[in-house]
Structure 1
Amino acid sequence: MKLLSALLWSSLLATMAPSAWAQANTIPSQPHLLVKGSAERQVMPDRFGVSVRLNSVDLKTEAARRRVQDNGRQVLALFKRSDALADTIKSENLQVSPQSRYKDGESVFVGVSVSQSLSASFADGASLQRFLGALQASKEVQVTTQNPAYSAEGKLRAELKAEAARQTRESAAGLAGAYGAKVIGLYSISDVSPDFAYGVQAGDWPRGQNGPPALKNLSPPKPSPVSAPPQDGFNESGEVIASGPITYTETYTPFS
């Protein structure tokens, strides 16, 4: 029976790093095959972040500092009233610096700038909407929302990596068996598609009618549909914060 060594190529070669080119020279001369495993899942976000930038400029440093701290106390209290997640509420240290502006081509001192950044996350869009509806923004209180996120992203990615790795093993074994061969080892592994003399570009893997019959049933399964509806938050003005699902994908590229 023919033997195939499992070779999982490091896709650092695509960046043309010296270490990657060194790996290119270590590709075994014996027969081998290249397979890819991919796992994908959609989840609904459960973290809705917001950051508030406080800034005040005054010729009297104490006056600027007092206004920033007063605004900060109000924002922190509003975080709590709006059900911000306690472990996500953060308050950075005050920053003090001179402030100037250009007038007639010259820099003119206008005072001392005191600033501070506050941030927090909410478990749903409705809570974030309540916060935004109650916050009084001004030139000294600027608010910015963040992209919705999923709190268990790290755990989910680990599960997807394991699923993608299982697919590579099954794909390598199935493809080798179709040619009467057997996988006997592993060379290296990567979670990014390679770009080298095989003619396969990163993220561009040929499949379809022109591929070998053994490859046609080796594509990863389609992700399960998301059953949870989008989370919406409304206020009296009719404004809405709507969130769609987040898609996470992990891939592994092995040589077999």
Structure 2
Amino acid sequence: MKRISVSLVLALSVLGAQAQSISGQPFIAVHGKAKTEVVPDVFPLEITLKDTSLDAAATQAEIEGHAQQVVALTKAMTMADRDVEISNLSVSPEYRWDDKEDKQVFLGNTYARTIKLRFHALADLQKAIDALPKSKQVQLDTGNFQSSKQDDIRRQLLAQAVQDARKTADIMAGAVGKRIGSVHNISNQGFNVRYVESNEAGTLDSVMVSGARAPAPAPPVALREGVIQLVQDVYIIYTMAD
């Protein structure tokens, strides 16, 4: 975890509907926030093996052959079973509408498999992408990079956001000669994860990679680690006392 910053923000408008239930009693509605930036250590890759053809046997053999190559790659990289998810083979008919004939035309069956991998180093993700079959039937998509410590960070940020809201309420109540009373309502508005570009030297921003890999030689896929910004918000309504 790099740094944790806490901001003090009043959020009366967000809690207006909740505040209506406090009949006549003075109250304070506050917004507490805590956030941090972490370096990702989980790098997902979704591989879609897909093709449509009238030659059922040949197309199925090609898709299954690519799947076997991917499985062999995961074994060569000694990936844990929990980091490899392989779907069953999906077969579905494909049609197009012929306006001249005013009817559907059968194009063949679409054969597809999806393989989801999780890497724990960006270099391993890059290595896997470079080693995968170079075919139009192989589509790659890297998802959002993640942190394996996200749940622990979530709890830490939640506690800090509550403390932030309490400090805000104390300051506001004291400024008008009051003190805060009991908690009337508290709401966790969600845990937001997004990528941000860092200005620090040596760190790189994240990149999404998707699309079919053509047989022709292509330049190496550029992958950047970046940082993940984790944000926790808490909204609290306190009653006020003299």
TM-score scaled to structure 2, two decimals? 0.73
Pair 1:186-2:183 in alignment = yes
Query: Does 174-183 or 29-38 show the bigger shift?
Result: 174-183
Q: Determine helix, strand or coil for the equivalent of 1:26.
A: coil
Aligned 1:81-120 pairs, distance under 5 A: 81-82=76-77, 84-103=79-98, 105=100, 106-120=103-117
Query: Does 26-35 or 158-167 show the bigger shift?
Result: 26-35
* Pairing partner for 1:73 from 68, 71, 86: 68
Native 8 Å contact 1:37 1:166 kept in 2: yes
Give the superposition deviation at 1:85. 5.0
Q: Determine helix, strand or coil for the equivalent of 2:28.
A: coil
Pair 1:46-2:41 in alignment = yes
Higher relative contact order (CA 8 A, sep 6+): 1
Give the superposition deviation at 1:238. 6.1
Report what 1:4 is aligned to: none
Q: Tell me the distance in 2 between the aligned counterparts of 1:133 and 1:180.
A: 66
Pair 1:249-2:231 in alignment = yes
User: Taking structure 1 as reference, are residues 93 and 12 closer, same or farther at Cα in structure 2, changes over 3 Å only?
Assistant: farther
Q: Tell me the distance in 2 between the aligned counterparts of 1:140 and 1:250.
A: 41
Native 8 Å contact 2:15 2:29 kept in 1: no
* Pairing partner for 1:126 from 101, 123, 133: 123
Amino acid at match of 1:172: A
Native 8 Å contact 2:130 2:220 kept in 1: no
Native 8 Å contact 2:69 2:133 kept in 1: no
How many residues were matched structurally? Answer: 207
User: Taking structure 1 as reference, are residues 178 and 25 closer, same or farther at Cα in structure 2, changes over 3 Å only?
Assistant: closer
Give the superposition deviation at 1:24. 5.0
Q: Tell me the distance in 1 between the aligned counterparts of 2:39 and 2:201.
A: 7
Moved over 6 A (4+): 225-228
Q: What percent identity do the matched residue pairs reach?
A: 30
Q: Tell me the distance in 1 between the aligned counterparts of 2:182 and 2:13.
A: 16
Give the superposition deviation at 1:255. 2.0
Report what 2:169 is aligned to: 172
Q: Determine helix, strand or coil for the equivalent of 1:30.
A: coil
* Pairing partner for 2:203 from 218, 230, 242: 230
TM-score scaled to structure 1, two decimals? 0.69
Pair 1:33-2:28 in alignment = yes
For structure 2, the 5+ residue unaligned runs are 1-10, 191-197, 206-218
Q: Determine helix, strand or coil for the equivalent of 1:158.
A: helix
Q: Please list the CA deviations of residues 108-152 of structure 1 after superposition, one character each: whole Å capped at 9, or x if unmatched.
A: 212222211111011122111111111123222211221211122
For structure 1, the 5+ residue unaligned runs are 1-7, 14-20, 194-224
Q: Tell me the distance in 2 between the aligned counterparts of 1:24 and 1:139.
A: 57
RMSD in angstroms over aligned alpha carbons?
3.2
